[in-house]
Structure 1
Amino acid sequence: MSGIVITDNQQPDNPIIYCNDAFERISGYVRREIIGRNCRFLQQEDRNQPEREIIRKALQKNENCYVEIRNYRKNGTLFWNELYLSAIKDNEGKTIYFIGVQNDISRRKKAELELRQQKDQMERQVQERTRTLKINEEYLSSIVQTVRESLIVLDPDSHVLSVNEHFLRTFKVTRAETEDRLLFELGDGQWNIPQLRELLEKILPTNNPVEDFEVEYDFPHIGKKLMLLNAHRIELEGEYKDRILIAIEDITERRSIEKRKDDFLSIASHELKTPLTTIKGYVQMMNKLMPENSNLRFKDLVGKTESYVNRLNNLITELLDVSKIQTGYIELHKENFDFNKMVYDAVEGIQAGTKTHHITIKGKATDSYLGDETQLVQVINNLLANAIKYSPNANEILVYLSLVSDYLKVSVTDYGMGISSEDQKKVFERFYRVGDIQQRFPGMGIGLYVCDQIVQRHGGSLWIESEKDKGSTFSFTLPLKERADA
């Protein structure tokens, strides 16, 4: 079945307003991650293809076009896309929509490529087969022994062929107790773990390799272990055919440290909040009781004190939000409110506090949205504050509101420093800060993480489009009604 998308040519950047189930299956994205984006997100970083120029000219001239273009699924895998792009015009001849019909032609392109390069391919296959046949048990064993993780090599029936020294030390067993035995019978059944059976018997045969499969188990002699398993079926020929290699990373201590860090974060934030509230109250009282003829220097010091107290209060509030998110205690208090007014009010508040930037709002979303207004105000404020902070040499910020299908969309665009494609993948991670930005601007790297979590908890999606030294656009969509896949 063909994937179908419809884009709105009347809105900036031609956002997708409709996609069918086949497009979700082809691309690997779910609908809430698709609606509101420009179709170029499917090319990810591979945007220098000549086919994109063909598409761009067709959009400019409001013409139909056909291309075969490289696209990438959500998991990063390449697929070839056969795209038929058609313009939909109104009675006056104005193009209002574009319909894209897409087919996965990866198999056909692969066959064409194989035919064109048959001679070279056959030579490479012979060389690869020769190299593979030379791999012997001694070579495989040397690799296994030098890896600083616990490794197990199994046959297709889950019998242990070999383990490395790290495995023996970690799980306090001997080689005689381990090798040439069924994995699930080791140590009176201590490895007869339901999750491990599921990995080997159900998941691995259909999904090779398996990465970061988390297993928690209480072993009789060494206690509870939290492990990350990475499994791969080694498809060799001859004597070593169909070996299964399992790498076991013990993350018990790491997770324990993370929990202690989160606990400290929560306790410290709460403990700091109480005296800070008192200090804030005293500063406010000083402002109220300050005589009109007070020394200007004194007034300036009180004002700066209040500014720094508010900044510290915001940082502690963000830390508390992170703590609540990590512990699962953050709650949504959903009520109907005027979303458009909320954004305009938030922009007005930010605009009043800055003399360096002018914020422009365009478009409308909805005057009735069911959500947590306080948390969404926090998202808008954070995105605007970042836009101001990271565009010191620009003075314009654009906020665009729109409706795309059954989602509302908000975009905040600045014309500042921009973010590299590599850093874009990590900006929503907790405590992550871009290297060169970290050196120039203070911060803890938690604002975007909190924003992303709030948007996700509303069933929406937050993303960034940016180019180094050309600015950034942070956009998020929120469903206008509850969805099963939200």
Structure 2
Amino acid sequence: MINENLDIYLQALNSANSGIIITDNLQPDNPIIYCNSAFEKISGYSTDEIIGHNCRFLQAQDRSQAERQLLKDSIREGKECKVEIRNYRKNGQLFWNELLISPVKNEEGLVTHFIGVQHDVTERKRVEYELREEKTYIEEKVRERTKEIMVKEAFLSSIIQTVRESLLVLDSNYVVLSANNHFLSTFKVTQEETVGKVLFELGNHQWDIDPLKDLLTKILPTNNPVTDYEVEHHFQHIGKKVMLLNAYRIELEGQYKDRILIAIEDITEKKELDRRKDDFLSIASHELKTPLTTIKSLIQLLQRMDPAKNPEKFTTSLDKVSVYIEKLNKLISKLLDTSKIHSGNIELHMEPFEIDKTVQDAIDNLSVAIPGHHISFSGCTNATVIGDEMQILQVINNLISNAIKYAPGSKNVEVYINNVGNFVKISVKDYGMGINHQDKIKIFERFFRASDIQKKYPGLGIGLYVSHEIVVNHKGTLWVESEIGEGSTFNFTLPIMKNNNYG
């Protein structure tokens, strides 16, 4: 009877138009343990990608909102709270979320869970903005607009919105008259924050860029178009952007200097991909060449040596050859893993196994191999998962090894395992240098290595990529939480086997 009632309640929650989540306040970082279908639709994430996260992940890098502190204070005090907060869907699209959180207390008055109810109020915000704009537009229209100019500007606006490139239209004083949707999406801004503002003052003067000023104030007044003008700039919320600018003066009513059209092509990813490929080829050739050179030297030495006269030195040299061949073999295996994953040919040998024991075995083996570090293990799931145990072991080894490698000033690594809904969650925490936001976005991409990491530590930038793809192929998620100077926590989830079968 209880199970029937529970099924009815869950069906009711999934039928609701409001997004609903439940978090476990008794677990570290208050993770989400349930979400309904409406929340998946609002956020763009699937249940598998949501479970185990703290709900702040929806704010992405937009962390300066005062509402975040209100929510944090209310959760700490176990109080109800209602806010309107900027959130971001999985595809990066901004939406406004009306969020109500309510505490759930047990018989002793302890807050055990929080229930969050979400409403997407983006459309309401848009309508409010459009009403304000419409009022202003009508007032200005009477004073300064003629029907002919309105038609021309409407025609120009329709062209701008259909182009899959960031476009801005400025007046002669560099005030933004129009910004297309691609510009708003790329630079994470709204019409209200852009239109009617001086270009150089946008985003708290983020567009006050000297090369851009030179382009607009020195080059364009000659009435010659500017093509493929490269500008690199670091924006506060979205990081570094490399842009190709094309700018033209548009003649209206027989006058020049009336309108300026700027087309902005974001080539940041292309530049970054080219850099990564060059870095990878350079590092890979070095990593392969080093053991090969050593092996070659040792073999030449063995060829000149008489084993009967110096057997001990001969044996020692052979042992060194074996060590370097094994190192070379591991490096080639990593490259083959990457190639198989990228081509979709990775093989999974799916069998049930006890995840607690697998994690403990990995820690025991690494503790023997690296005796100078203390790897603590806490939590218990008693769960069985279906998967390729060797590949999951590879993920755990990689995360713990990275925690040791990138925290040279600390000897402690913490591993925690617990149940979150129908998943197990494994967390590996270090006390190292931390990871900045821009690097967190790309850290699981193939061949990516942060510039400061690359200078200090050797590597190919494929370990986290391989780990991420293994977890995804096991229908789990892998993510990182980190702040510069405060260490990093890598988390991943795996679905728990249901009813002791493979279904």
* TM-score of the two chains, using structure 1 as the length reference: 0.63
CA shift at 1:480, angstroms?
1.6
Which residues of 2 match residues 8-87 of structure 1 at below 5 A? Answer: 8-87=24-103
Aligned residue among 375, 390, 405 for 1:359: 375
2:466 pairs with 1:445: no
Q: 1:132 corresponds to which residue?
A: 153
Q: Matched residue of 2:414: which SS?
A: strand
SS in 1 for 2:407: coil
SS in structure 1 at match of 2:442: coil
- Alpha-carbon separation, structure 1, partners of 2:480 and 2:470: 16
Residue 111 of structure 2 is aligned with which of 95, 113, 132? 95
Q: Name the SS for the 1:425 alignment partner.
A: helix
Task: Provide, for residues 37-65 of structure 1, a one-character-per-residue CA deviation record: whole Å limited to 9, x for no partner.
Answer: 00000000011211111111111111111
| 1:85–1:98 Cα contact (<8 Å) kept | yes
CA apart distance, 1:80: 1.0
Alignment of 1:5-404 (within 5 A): 5-114=21-130, 132=153, 135=156, 308-404=324-420
User: Does the aligned pair in 1 maintain the 2:383–2:496 contact within 8 Å?
Assistant: no
Report Cα offsets for 1:449-472 as digits up to 9, x if no partner.
111111111111111121122211
Structure 1 residues 124 and 79: alpha-carbon distance in aligned structure 2, compared to 1, 3 A threshold: farther
Any conservation in 2 of the 1:365–1:409 contact (CA below 8 Å)? Answer: no
Q: In the TM superposition, what is the alpha-carbon distance from 1:294 to its structure 2 partner?
A: 7.0
**What is the CA distance between 1:87 and its match in structure 2?**
0.7
Distance 1:39 1:378 in 2: 29
Letter in 2 for 1:320: L
Deviations 1:51-95 (A, max 9, x none): 111111111111111111111111111111111111111111111
Q: Give the RMSD, CA atoms, in angstroms.
A: 3.9
Name the residue aligned to 2:440.
Answer: 424
- Tell me the CA shift for residue 135 of structure 1: 4.8
- Matched to 1:47, the amino acid is R
Deviations 1:342-395 (A, max 9, x none): 001101111222244321111123342211100000000001111111111122
Change over 3 Å in CA distance of 1:302–1:14 after alignment to 2: farther
Does the 8 A contact of 1:9 with 1:97 survive in 2?
yes
Q: Deviations over 1:86-111 (max 9, x none)?
A: 11111111111111011111122233
Distance 1:85 1:379, change over 3 A: same
Aligned residues: 343
Deviations 1:389-445 (A, max 9, x none): 111112221111011110111111112121211111211111111111111110001
Alignment-mate amino acid for residue 456 of structure 2: R
Question: Do the aligned partners of residues 133 and 45 (structure 1) sit closer, same or farther apart at CA in structure 2, a change above 3 Å counting?
Answer: same
Q: 2:237 corresponds to which residue?
A: none
- Give, in whole Å, the separation in 1 of the partners of 2:419 and 2:53: 12
AA paired with 1:382?
A: N
Deviation at 1:132, TM superposition (A): 3.4
Counterpart position of 2:227? none
Structure 1 residues not aligned, in runs of 5+? 145-246, 280-290
Identity of aligned residues (%): 48
> For residues 308-330 of structure 1, what are the alpha-carbon distances to aligned partners after superposition, in whole Å with 9 as ceiling and x for unaligned?
55443322221121122233322
Listed one character per residue, the Cα deviations across residues 105-128 of structure 1 (whole Å, up to 9, x for unaligned) are: 112223344456666666899999
Alignment TM-score, normalising by the size of structure 2: 0.61
Contact 2:31 2:51 survives alignment (8 Å): yes
Task: Give the 3 Å change call, closer, same or farther, for CA 11–310 of structure 1 in structure 2.
Answer: farther
**Is the Cα–Cα contact under 8 Å of residues 385 and 494 in structure 2 kept in the other structure?**
no
Consecutive unaligned residues of structure 2, counting only runs of 5 or more, are 1-16, 165-264, 299-309
1:81·1:102 contact (CA, 8 Å) conserved in 2? yes
**For residues 419 and 379 of structure 2, what CA distance do their matches in structure 1 show?**
9
Counterparts in 2 of 1:450 and 1:122: CA distance versus 1, 3 Å: farther
Q: 1:330 to 1:118 in 2, by over 3 A?
A: same
Q: Secondary structure at the match of 1:71?
A: strand
Identify the match of residue 494 of structure 2 among 462, 474, 478: 478
SS of the counterpart of 1:314?
Answer: helix
Pairwise CA distance, 1:479 = 1.3
1:2 partner letter? S
Which whole-Å CA distance do the structure 2 matches of 1:431 and 1:402 have between them? Answer: 31
Describe the SS at the equivalent of 2:391. Answer: helix
Q: Which residue of 2 aligns with 1:463?
A: 479
